[in-house]
Structure 1
Amino acid sequence: MCFRKPMLLAALLSLLLVPGWDHAGYDAEDSYYNPAESQINASTINTLTQRWSVPLRSSSPSCSGPSAPLVADGAVIATDARGVASYQASSGRRSWTFDWDDVEDSTTPSMAVASGLLLLANGDCHSASDPNGRLVALDVATGRVRWRHDLDMPVDSFVVDRGVAVISGSSESDETATVAYRVADGRQMWRKVGYLSSSSASAGRLLLTKGTTTTAVTLPSGAVLWTKPRSMYAESATPTRFLTTDGAALSLIDAASGALLWTAPGQQSKLLATDGRRVYRAVGRKVSALDIRDGRVVWTRTLATPATQPVRAGGLVYVGGPILSAASGVVVSPGIARGAQVVTGGSIYLAEAGKLTAVAPRR
């Protein structure tokens, strides 16, 4: 009996310390890079077996549906046709659910976890001329609403960093604006009219565009850091640099000064990931890796089917099909299901075909 309490305590601690994935892009930078993953790698990827699989809740008609799950505090949080549900990472057992007031008129939310709260940002889907949005904070452990804002503007972008949730939006009937709220209690911290925000932050720095200019502000204050006379949208970032696109090229920008470090014409993409050494981009069936030092293409792989958002973890790149070596682009595994994949704590969690599934290397 004297050994059971320490064993039980160790088991509970292991559950509480399950590595997380608390933003859609792993972090506020939208790097889609998990540097802590070590259990799933080239030597174990072909031994994956299913740990559990549960059906996602359905409703018809509905504007909401499955997206990349989050992993936080030993839970896997997934969107579905009714709203959001939390599942135990160890077993798939459902812990709580949250339903939209009107599932027929609520889009799939963007999600992030911070300070023990699950932040959800979405809007309605039936009004093209006067869409509205909402920002809701739920207790991660219980699913109870902690605070909520019903907005008179749509949510076009969403980012959470440094204890601040930032949204921006614009429509025919609403003024263009970027608004920041304190995560802890939902209090509005600042509002910048006429500006739209990127969805990727760089160590507390955020890009805002207004016309043909781009301004970097700091979080949480919203103070202006620099302004440049060109329009840039950050698709991904590192703690010191922004990866931006303008419709014609991919560029690397110094986050502190706004200095242009390099431009790669024709390499623009909305599907980017970076590990600080290479930039992984997906366009159609083509996946490429660029050297982050100069934008030079290191390798390119053409897939049989269109690639999904690249995810980098354990020396591998997941693109919704064959799993590739991050260093060379060589196919390491034929891959698993095409759903949005989150790789953390020695497991892959994916939502696809109406199911939330966890797989892990065979032990």
Structure 2
Amino acid sequence: MYVFSALCTVLVLALAPGGWDHAGFDAEDSYYNPDESQINAGTIGDLTQRWSVALREKGGACGGPSAPLISGGAGGSVIATDERGISSYRAMTGRLAWQFDWDDPDDSSTPSMAVSGDVLVAANSDCNSMSDPDGRIVALDLATGRVRWRIASPFPVASFVVDKGVVVVSGTSPSDEQMTVAYRAADGRELWRKPRHEASGVSANGRILLVKGRSTTAVAIGTGVPLWAHKRIWYAESATPAADRFLVSDGTALTALRASDGAMLWTAEGKQSALLATDGRRVYRAAERTVEALDVHTGRRLWWRQLPVIAGQPVRAGGLVYTGGPVLNAATGSVVATVEGSQVAAGGRLFTVSRQRLTVLE
């Protein structure tokens, strides 16, 4: 059994042919890389370090490291947050390409990020105001880090998703009503806004879910036009890679909805969780010290595994499910290795962030 130890959180990202453009691999937040095959149960023990760089630190900073994004595959960039802002590194060598600094790192949270075309979009919030925090959205040129556009949001950014060239942010505060606003990723032009609506950070091929009052509405991300609605409160936690169904939670159950019309396909009581991954065959769910797989078509439990540590975000790649500790066989749940922290694998490489360092293993 191969063990890669880290005392701090390990955040791993990988090299897929088309890159890793969203925190959850895709706008669906599936956390599933269908292209990975090199890192599997038989090869995970053979990985060695290719390069490693120290991430920038600043005492008193509000934000810090998070899982990086990969743009452009093997010849592209690794984009990582740090305590001062955002840094981009050459994927093959680790050489610094550019850096972006927040105006006030002490009052800037760790951003959510996604790549859209040739821009990196990042959104975050103030950290120090309890009564009237604000947010910010900035689009950076992927090649140079130059600011393409930026928007000062009057409300903190609690939800963020990028799909079809559109950025949708949502949030509220004691001084701001709930608001959801969509911008064009290329130039920051506002496309639509919906007061008193709360968005989920998941898009199923351009469909997103908005909650207002006691109802949930699916809208087209580009226009905000309603597509279907339910008199229920549902928050999207993930969507299948084929974008044919949402996985939603109401706080007490996990439910699968058909994305095209909102039809309820199944409900699993007591299975609500924000830590989901799906490969279109199974739903991998983490909660406390357990990970289980549910049939994506029926919600029936297929396997269950008790872990010795608190489970992290499940990640599915190369026939494996990474859990933040034990690495499991995706089909059976059996333990095949141990890799502490959070992991994503692609292109035969692991990109890890631990102890303020970005390291690449292959």
Structures share fold, TM-score greater than 0.5: yes
- Over residues 289-320 of structure 1, what are the superposed CA-to-partner deviations in whole Å (9 max), with x where a residue is unaligned? 10101101111111111111011011111111
1:128 to 102, 127, 130: 130
Tell me by how many angstroms 1:140 deviates.
0.7
TM-score (norm 2): 0.93
Higher relative contact order (CA 8 A, sep 6+): 2
- Over residues 138-170 of structure 1, what are the superposed CA-to-partner deviations in whole Å (9 max), with x where a residue is unaligned? 001111100000111110100000110000011
Tell me by how many angstroms 1:278 deviates.
0.2
Partner Cα distance (1:95, 1:343) in 2 = 23
Tell me by how many angstroms 1:96 deviates.
0.7
Instruction: Out of 156-165 and 168-177, give the one that drifted further.
Output: 168-177
In the TM superposition, 1:222-237 aligns within 5 A as 222-237=224-239
In the TM superposition, 1:187-266 aligns within 5 A as 187-238=189-240, 239-266=243-270
User: Is 2:146 the partner of 1:147?
Assistant: no
Tell me by how many angstroms 1:38 deviates.
1.4
Q: What's 2:323 paired with?
A: 319
Tell me by how many angstroms 1:18 deviates.
4.7
Tell me by how many angstroms 1:341 deviates.
2.6
Q: Alpha carbons of 1:353 and 1:102: their partners in 2 closer, same or farther (altered >3 Å)?
A: same
- Over residues 93-133 of structure 1, what are the superposed CA-to-partner deviations in whole Å (9 max), with x where a residue is unaligned? 11111000000000000000011100000010001110100
Q: Which amino acid aligns with 1:60?
A: G
User: Is 2:261 the partner of 1:285?
Assistant: no
Unaligned 5+ residue runs, structure 1? 1-15
SS at match of 1:170: strand
8 A contact 1:177–1:193 mirrored in 2 = yes
Q: CA RMSD in A?
A: 1.2
Partner Cα distance (1:281, 1:264) in 2 = 12
8 A contact 1:21–1:342 mirrored in 2 = no
Partner Cα distance (1:114, 1:145) in 2 = 14
SS at match of 2:106: helix
In the TM superposition, 1:74-93 aligns within 5 A as 74-93=76-95
Partner Cα distance (1:317, 1:33) in 2 = 9
Partner Cα distance (2:27, 2:310) in 1 = 26
Q: Which amino acid aligns with 1:256?
A: S
TM-score (norm 1): 0.93
Q: What's 1:274 paired with?
A: 278
Q: What's 2:33 paired with?
A: 34
- Over residues 238-269 of structure 1, what are the superposed CA-to-partner deviations in whole Å (9 max), with x where a residue is unaligned? 21110001110000001111111100001111
Tell me by how many angstroms 1:19 deviates.
4.0
Partner Cα distance (2:347, 2:147) in 1 = 28
8 A contact 1:280–1:287 mirrored in 2 = yes
Count of matched residue positions in the alignment of Structure 1 and Structure 2? 343
8 A contact 1:70–1:78 mirrored in 2 = yes
Q: What's 2:186 paired with?
A: 184
8 A contact 2:124–2:157 mirrored in 1 = yes
2:347 to 345, 348, 354: 345
8 A contact 1:68–1:342 mirrored in 2 = no
Q: Which amino acid aligns with 1:216?
A: A
8 A contact 2:276–2:286 mirrored in 1 = yes
Unaligned 5+ residue runs, structure 2? 1-14
Q: Which amino acid aligns with 1:264?
A: A
Q: Which amino acid aligns with 1:199?
A: G
Instruction: Out of 16-25 and 51-60, give the one that drifted further.
Output: 16-25
Q: State the structure with more CA Rg.
A: 1
Tell me by how many angstroms 1:52 deviates.
1.4
Tell me by how many angstroms 1:17 deviates.
8.4
Tell me by how many angstroms 1:353 deviates.
1.4
SS at match of 2:188: coil
Partner Cα distance (1:285, 1:155) in 2 = 30
